[in-house]
Amino acid sequence: MILSIFRLILMFMMKMIPKLVVWMVFFLPLSISATTLHSYAGTQLVSGIVRDNFDQKTRPQDNFYQYVNGGWLHSFKLPDDKSRYGTFDELQEQSKRDVQSILLSLGKKKSISAEEKKALAAYQAFMDLKKLDQLGASPIQPLLAEINKIQDKKSLSAQIAKSLEYGVETPLTWFVMPDKRDSMKNQVYFHQSGLGLPDRDYYLEQSPRFNAIRNAYLNYMEDMLKLAGYSSVKASAERVLALETQIAEVQWSRVENRQSDKTYNLRKTSELARVMNVMNWQAMSQVWQLENHTEVVIHQPSYIRGLAQIFKKTDLQSWKDYLALRTVSAFAKYLSAEFVLRDFEFYGKVLRGVTMLKPRWERGVEHTNQIIGQAVGKAYVKKHFRPEAKARMDKMVKNLTRAYTKTIQRLDWMSEETKNRALVKLEKFRPMIGFPEKWEDYSALELRPDDLFGNYQRSVKWFYNRSREDLSKPVDRTRWIINPQLVNAGYNPTTNQIFFPAGILQPPFFNVKADDAVNYGAIGTAIGHEISHGFDDQGAQYDGDGNLKNWWTSQDKAEFEKRSQRLIDQFNKFYPFRDAHVNGELTLGENIGDLSGVIIAFEAYKMSLKGKKSRVIDGFTGEQRFFLGFAQIWRNVYREAALRKRLRTDSHAPPQYRVLGTLKNVPAFYQAFDVKNTDKMYLKPEDRVIIW
C-alpha cells in the first residue's frame, strides 16, 4: 500500500499526531507459498508464480486480479484478530516474530549493550500484565488531577500544550520537518488534530451507519471515563461529542490536506499569536519551548481561526471533559486489562470489524518498534538482511532510473523545457536501501522494565526534545524516520529520498534468486512507484532539491492536470459497495504512482533482456510473469468495516482496484495477455491514461 512525508513521522510518533498527508508508499508483499524451481542458463531460478492462488474459472482478460488471486481469496479465512490480511501482513507478521526472537534472546544474554537493555525493557514492561492490573487506573490519575485543577482559559491553554507532550492527541499538534520552500533548513509545522473518530466525516455525515458509530462512541466514552473514576459520565460524553463535532466542522478534508501548496502557509509567530489570542499562545509556546521561534508553517489557517472561536465560546467544563477523555483514551493500551479490552471493543470491533484482540506479544513488539525501533533494527539487519540484496537493489534502482529517463524523453505531450527539468529532478533522487547510514541515538531516552506508562510518556517527550534540537540544525538527509524491520517502502518529497527498508527486501517480494520478470513485477513496480511519487500530482510540485517550486510550463501543467482528472474519473467508478466508491481525488497520488511504476518497471525489465526474447517458464512468457508478479503482491482481504473505513480515510485505493485500475491503462498488458475489445479488462485506446 502506498502512503504518503509525514505519515512515516506519524508512525514514529506513535499515533499521537493526526493522520497527516505524506507521499509514502505501503506495498503489500507476495505470498510466502512455495514456488517452482527451473533451470535457466545453468542457474536455479524461482519462477515466482504461485499457481495455487489462481482462479482457473476466471479469464485474465476479464478480471486479472481475480484470475491471479481468486483461489486464495475463496479459500482463505480471515483470522479473528485481523481487520485485513494479505501479502504485506504475512511478511510483517514474520518480521514481528523475528523481532520477538531477538528481544527474547536479549533476555537470556549475560551481557548486552545499554541500547539493547532499553529495547528489552520496553518489551518487558509491556508484557508485565500482573503489574499493569495491580496499577489499574492509577498511572493516569496525576494527569487527570492536573486537568481537574484547571480554573480558567489560560491554565486550560497551558494544559492543552502539556497534554500534547504527554502523548495525548489535542486539537492542535506540531512537528518538525524540512521547510518545503527552503529544504535545507528545518521548520515547525502546525496541523489540525484532536478527534477521537477516524475522520471529520464520522461526525458530520447523517446516515444510519454513522449514527450507529457515534452512539457506540458515546458508550465508549462513558465507559472509559467511568473506568477512570469519573461520575456523571453520560453528560461528560455528550459534551465531548458536541465539542469534537464542532472541531470536525472546521477541519479540512483529507482531499484538501493533500494539497502541498495550499497547506504551506508560512506565518510569523506574532501573527499566529494574534489569531490564537484567546488560546493564550504565550502559555502554549512556553510549554512547547517555541517562544523564541519567529516563524511557523500552518497547514490549515482557517482551522486555526475556527479553533480559536470554538475555544472562546466553549465552556470550561466541556474542555476539561474533553482533555480527560482524550487522556484516558491515549493511554488505554498501557493500562490494565479492563482499559485495553474496552478500547478494543470500540476501535477494534466497531470501527474495524475485528472480533479478537491481537496476542499480547505481538502488541508488545509493535510497541517496542514504535518507541525504540532502530535499536532492535540493528540486530534485525545483522541477522536477516543479506548484503547481496542491497547490491541487487542498487542495480535495480539504477535500471529503473534509466528506464524513467527513457520514458520521459519520449513523452509526446510534454515540452522539452519541462522534460529537461524533470530529468534534473530524477538525477537527484537519493535511494535509501536496507538500513540507515547513521543509527538513531537513544542515549537520552530512559526506558524501564517496570514502567510501561512512563516509558510511553518519556518516548514522546524524547521525540519532541529531538525535534526542538533539529530546529537549530541543518536538515539531516541521511536520517531514516522508519525502522529497517518495517515491511514497507516510501518517498519523502522534501529530501527527494526513496526508502526500501530491509523488511521488504526478502522473498518472495524481492528474491535475489528469482527470475527477473517477477522481481521487476514486484519490487520493480515498488521502485517505480516510489520514484513516481516525485512526479505525481503533489510530488511534481517539488524540485530535485525538495523545494516546493514550480518547474512546469503552464501548457504542460494543464495537460498533466487533464490526464490526472481522467484517472480520477476512472477510479471514482469503482464501487466496493453499492453505497460507497473509491475517492479518485483522494487516491490520485497513489494511483499515479501505481500506473507510472508499472510502466517504468516494465520498461526496465525489457531493457534488462537486451533485445533477447524472454524465457517461457511455467507456461508464461517473461512479460506475462511480470504482470502476474505485480498482481500477486496485492492479494488481500478486508472486513467490511475496515474496508469502509479505508474508503473514507486512506489515500490508497483497495488492492483489487490498484491492479484492475492500473492495468487497464497499460498497453504492454494488452499485448502480454492478448486483451481484445470484447474483454472486460479492455479500455479503448483513447480512454487509457498515460502520464509518465
- Residue linked to cell 544474554: 109
- Choice between 46 and 229, residue whose per-residue pLDDT is larger: 229
Please state, in angstroms and rounded to a whole number, the distance separating the CA atoms of residues 405 and 410.
Answer: 9
CATH superfamily assigned to domain 2-51+388-440+475-687: Collagenase (Catalytic Domain) (3.40.390.10)
Closest CA to 597 of 517, 544, 530: 530
Instruction: Kindly give, in sequence order, each residue whose CB lies less than 8 Å from that of residue 415, ignoring residues fewer than 6 positions away.
Output: 553, 555, 556
Neighbouring C-beta atoms of residue 534, cutoff 10 Å:
27
Same fold for the pair 2-51+388-440+475-687 and 140-335: no
Q: Is the pLDDT of residue 559 over 80?
A: yes
Question: How far is the C-alpha of 379 from the C-alpha of 326, rounded, in Å?
Answer: 36
CA atoms within 13 A on the CB side of 633: 31
CATH topology classification for 140-335: Neutral endopeptidase; domain 2 (1.10.1380)
pLDDT of residue 510: 83
Give the rounded percent of residues in the chain with a pLDDT score beyond 90.
Answer: 88
Contacts of 345 (CB under 8 A, 6+ apart): 220
Where would I find the H helices in 167-207?
201-204
The pLDDT, as a whole number, for residue 388 is 83
Per-residue pLDDT reduced to its tens digit, 484-501: 999 999 999 999 999 999
pLDDT band at 46 (very low <50, low <70, confident <90, very high): low
Residue identified by cell 521548520 is 187
The yes-or-no verdict on residue 2 having pLDDT over 80 is no
pLDDT tens digits for range 233-243? 999 999 999 99
Strands 266-268 and 295-298: antiparallel
- Ranges 11-25, 112-126, 263-277, 675-689: which has the least confidence: 11-25
Is residue 163 very low, low, confident or very high in pLDDT (cuts 50, 70, 90)? Answer: very high
Average pLDDT for residues 224-232, to the nearest whole number? 96
pLDDT value at position 390? 87
Per-residue confidence (pLDDT) for residue 1, from 0 to 100? 38
- Mean pLDDT computed over every residue of the chain: 92
Identity of the residue numbered 522? A
Q: Is the pTM of this model over 0.85?
A: yes
Torsion of CA 271, 275, 280, 283, to 10 degrees: -30
Enumerate the H helices of 109-232 as residue ranges.
114-127, 129-135, 141-148, 153-166, 201-204, 208-227
- Model confidence pLDDT, tens digit, residues 318-358: 999 999 999 999 999 999 999 999 999 999 999 999 999 99
| pLDDT for 187 | 97
CB–CB of 536/592 below 8 Å?
yes
The answer to whether 652 and 2 have CB atoms below 8 angstroms apart is yes
Other CB atoms within 10 A of residue 421 CB:
18
Q: What is the pLDDT of residue 514?
A: 75
Please say if the pLDDT value at position 583 is more than 70.
yes
pLDDT of residue 47: 74
Q: Looking at residues 664-679, what average pLDDT do you find?
A: 98
Mapped onto helix, strand or coil, the DSSP state of residue 172 is strand
- Predicted local confidence at residue 462, as pLDDT: 97
What's residue 44's pLDDT?
Answer: 57
Amino acid at 153: K
- In the chain, what are the domain boundaries? 2-51+388-440+475-687, 140-335
Residue 305 has pLDDT above 80, yes or no: yes
pLDDT at 113 over 90: yes
pLDDT for 433 beyond 70: yes
DSSP letter, residue 418: H
pLDDT band at 42 (very low <50, low <70, confident <90, very high): very low
- The per-residue pLDDT for range 463-488, each reduced to its tens digit, is 999 999 999 999 999 999 899 999 99
pLDDT of residue 687: 96
List C-alpha distances in Å: 215 to 211, 222, 316. 6, 11, 24
Q: Answer whether residue 33 shows pLDDT above 70.
A: no
Write down the H helix ranges in 385-451: 387-409, 416-427
What is the CB neighbour count within 10 angstroms for residue 212?
Answer: 11
Residue owning grid cell 486539537: 171
- Phi, psi (rounded to 5 degrees) for 186: -85, 155
pLDDT of residue 233: 97
pLDDT for the residue 41: 39
CB atoms within 10 A of CB 15: 13
